[in-house]
Structure formats: structure tokens, C-alpha cells
Amino acid sequence: MSFDPTYPHRLTPLPPQTAIANTDFGDLLIKTRVELAELKGACGQIPNPLLLMSPTIIRESVASSNIENINTTLVDVLQWQLFPEAEQRQPDKEVLRYREAMNWGFENMEKYALSSRLITGIQKRLIPDGNGQYRREQNQIANLASRESLYTPPIASDIPSLIGNWENYANTLDESLDPLIRVIICHYQFEAIHPFRDGNGRTGRILMILQLIQQGLLQFPVLYISGYINQRRSDYYQYLLAVTKDQNWHGFIEYMLNGFCAKAMETRDDLKKITVLFEQIKEQIRTENKKVYSSDLVEALFTYPIITPTKLAAELNMHYTTTSRYLTQLAEMGILKDTKFGKHHLFANHQLLKILSKPS
């Protein structure tokens, strides 16, 4: 039966019916594996990789949310995260929930594997109102401007069996196909199932990063893949649709391999720059203002690239007046820049923000 975007798609279970071989992607596959291995190795050499995860995950969260037309900036999110959720703008809440979902998935992946329990747990943190439940009614993907139907996902009653098939494929060892290609196949399949009313794209991109970790291709969820997709968004959707309409897997796999390769290289370079900056700032404070220095202070400046005296006081278990004095002195040393945000006084790790805010 030919593809009809207005009719619920009869999604073929995995594995794909089209013949796919590692050799189809030759040098690109090899190069991508090398770049991911080097990124993984770079993370292993960082003394405190979990510390450096925080700013890189925020950047990934912003880009992944931008793909879904949830528009905000890295700086806005870093500012608003300092204040209660009730005061935050909706786009910034959405991005911070993405970070929470990614962190929760990373922490619970070993416990739940790539399973329905993990999927719904991630979704519940992304979209709290949905309670992590699979949709019970039909949904549809349409062009935002023309409202023309582009794709109608499978009927709701098919979701449990399709997710079960996805779980089996994702967790079954198949040495005939490179794990990177399997990750890409699983990403397409999840997006085609479209199991939730909202947040399917973001959930799918979190799962993709976690599957890279499950397959031993990454150690931490630091890969900035959404930056690549966001810059080439129309291509991303066209390649997804080509698989649906024509079983053209090769175009989508090649697109994603190029993204993994480019962003592994970029993320590795950024982590190296962040690590160098961390050591530079630590040494500068230690030599120029020993009374202010502590390892916890320096770590807080990287965990929260934009910070307030109140937040730093909570992190270091100090009095507000002490941390206010510390931050002012660090600004005088050129390590931080002080700025106003409404009625609030903020301090920005401007050198770190420069690394994180460069164009994708």
C-alpha cells in the first residue's frame, strides 16, 4: 500500500526489511567511530567529568527544544534556572525539564535498560502533565503554516507491541550491524511510533544519546547532536519521511553519521577548552586571591555559569554577604562579569559562556 500522510501508518516492526550493511557507509562509519572513541577518551581524562556535563547538557537541551519550536537561548535558561519554577518563562521550564529528563535517564539506564519503564520515566519528566502515559488517541504531524498533514502515526492500540519490538531490537546483540547504525535505526523507529501526545522528538533524542552510552560508544551524555539537527532541521525531517515513504534508510543513516562525526569532534574540542579554562581559573584564584579560593567555589562557577550570591551561598553553605563579596572580587579580577537581570544581580562566567554559545 502506498504512503498516505492522512492515514495511520502501518509501521513495519524492526529489523528493517531493506538490506543494510556496514560496508554501505565505508569510511564515514569508520571516521565516526574514531571521533566518538576520541570523545569518550577525552571524557575519561577529565578529573570531574560530571561537573563539566552540566553546561554541555544545558546546551543540548536548548538545541533539542529549539527543534520543537520551543525558543529560548542558553543564557536565558542559565539565568532563569536560578529562580523558582513558578517565576520561570515556559520555554525555559521546558529546557530545564529536558535536562532533568536526560539526567534521570542517565542515572537509571543501568537499572531499567532501554525499556518502556525508562521511556515513560523520561517522558514524565519532560511533560509532567502527561504522567508518562502512551497516547490513547490518534495524533498527526502537520505543516505548521499550511496545516497540511505530513504524517499520521500508527493507531494507539499498536503502540505497546511496537514499543515492545523496539525494546527487543535495541537490547539484542547483533554483530552483523554496527551499533551506530542500530542506534540510528532505533531513533527513526521511535519517532515513527510517536507514542506520546507531545514531546516525542525530545524523548527520542534523549534515548538516542542513552543508547550510544548503552552501546559503549559514549561514557557520558555530552554529545551535542541536537545542534547539528537544529541547523539542518528540514533535512532531518525529509530523511525521516523518506524512510517512511520509500524505506530509504541509507540517506537517513548517512545524515546521522555525519552529525555524530561532526559533533563528536566539536564536543571533544569544547570539553578540552572547558577543562583548560577550569584549570586556568582555579590557578588564577589560588595565586591572586588565596582567601577566596576553594575547589567547591571553582566547581560552582562551572556548574552554574551564571550565578547569584544567594545560589553560591547555598552551594558552599556560606552566608550571603560572604559569597557576595567573593563574587565581586572575582569580577574585579576579570574572572566573572557582573550584570543586572531585572532586580537581580548576577555574575557570569563569560569565558565559559563564549565556549558554549558559539554557533552550531
In tens, the pLDDT along 284-294 reads 999 999 999 99
Q: Which CATH class is domain 22-263?
A: mainly alpha
Q: How confident is the model at residue 174 (pLDDT cuts 50, 70, 90)?
A: confident
User: What does the pLDDT read at residue 2?
Assistant: 83
User: What does the pLDDT read at residue 153?
Assistant: 97
Q: Which residues contact 19 (CB under 8 A, 6 or more apart)?
A: none
Neighbours of 26 (CB within 10 A): 9
**Dihedral angle of Cα 34, 62, 51, 313, to the nearest 10 degrees:** 170
Q: What are the extents of the domains in the chain?
A: 22-263, 289-356
Determine the Cα–Cα distance for residues 250 and 272; give it in Å rounded to an integer.
33
Determine the CATH number of domain 289-356. Answer: 1.10.10.10
Helices (H), the chain: 26-45, 49-67, 74-80, 90-112, 116-126, 159-171, 179-193, 200-214, 225-231, 233-246, 249-288, 295-303, 309-316, 320-332, 350-356
pLDDT at 26 over 80: yes
Q: What's the pTM?
A: 0.94
Q: Phi, psi at residue 289, to the nearest 5°?
A: -155, 70
Average pLDDT taken over every residue of the chain: 93
Q: How confident is the model at residue 340 (pLDDT cuts 50, 70, 90)?
A: confident
In tens, the pLDDT along 31-64 reads 999 999 999 999 888 877 777 777 888 899 999 9
In tens, the pLDDT along 103-135 reads 999 999 999 999 999 999 999 999 988 778 999
Q: How confident is the model at residue 360 (pLDDT cuts 50, 70, 90)?
A: low
